[in-house]
Amino acid sequence: MQTITLDRYADVRDAFRQHDLRQDMYDAGGLVMADCLLVLHGAEHRVRRRVENRLFRRGTFRHWEREFLHDVVRDTLRPFVDAGRGDLVEIGYRTVMNLTAMVAGVDRPHGSPEETDALYRFAKKFSEGATLVHTTRDPAEVQAEVSAALAEFDVSFLQPSIARRQALIARLDTGELTESELPRDVLTALLRNRDELGVDDDVIRRECAFYLQAGSHSTANAFTHAAHDYFTWAAQPGSTVGATTDGALLQHCVYESLRLHPASPVAQRRALAPITLRSGTEIPEGTVVVMDLAGANRDAAVFDRPLEYDPLREVPDDVPRWGHAFGGGMHACIGTELAGGVPSSEDGEQVLGTVTLMLGALIEAGGRPDPADPAERDPHSAREHFGRYPVVFDA
Ligand code: HEM
Residue-wise pLDDT for 39-78, tens only, equals 999 999 999 999 999 888 767 888 888 888 989 899 999 9
Radius of gyration of the chain from its Cα atoms, rounded to whole angstroms: 21
Residues 212 and 119: beta-carbon distance below 8 Å: yes
Mean pLDDT of the chain, nearest integer:
93
Ligand 1: distance of its center to the CA of 328 in Å?
Answer: 10
Residues 29 and 134: beta-carbon distance below 8 Å: no
DSSP 134: G
pLDDT value of residue 382? 65
Q: Nearest-CA neighbor of 366 among 391, 338, 335?
A: 391
Give yes or no for residue 244 having a pLDDT over 80.
Answer: no
Report which ligand 1 atom has the smallest distance to the Cα of 258.
5
Report which ligand 1 atom has the smallest distance to the Cα of 324.
10
pLDDT value of residue 66? 84
pLDDT value of residue 115? 93
Kindly state if the Cβ of 268 falls inside 6 Å of ligand 1: no
Mean per-residue pLDDT for 251-264? 96
Give percent above pLDDT 90 in the chain.
79
**Tens of pLDDT, residues 326-342:** 999 999 999 999 999 99
- Name the residue type at position 168: L
> Which has more pLDDT, 59 or 144?
144
User: Given 3.50.50.60, 1.20.1250.20, 1.20.1270.10, 1.10.630.10, which CATH number is that of 3-366?
Assistant: 1.10.630.10
CA 26 distance to own-chain centroid = 16
In a 3-state reduction of DSSP, which class is residue 349? coil
pLDDT value of residue 206? 97
**Tens of pLDDT, residues 188-233:** 999 999 999 999 999 999 999 999 999 999 999 999 999 999 999 9
Q: From CA 369, how far away is CA 53, in angstroms rounded?
A: 38
Phi then psi for 366, rounded to 5 degrees? 80, 20
- Exposure on the CB side of residue 123, measured as CA atoms within 13 A: 26
> Which has more pLDDT, 238 or 236?
236
**Tens of pLDDT, residues 331-389:** 999 999 999 999 876 556 789 999 999 999 999 999 999 999 999 987 766 667 899 99
**Tens of pLDDT, residues 76-94:** 999 999 999 999 999 999 9
> Which has more pLDDT, 61 or 279?
279
Ligand 1: distance of its center to the CA of 213 in Å?
Answer: 10
Ligand 1: distance of its center to the CA of 215 in Å?
Answer: 7
Give yes or no for residue 186 having a pLDDT over 60.
Answer: yes
Strand partners, 390: 87
Kindly state if the Cβ of 264 falls inside 6 Å of ligand 1: yes
Give percent above pLDDT 70 in the chain.
97
Kindly state if the Cβ of 37 falls inside 6 Å of ligand 1: yes
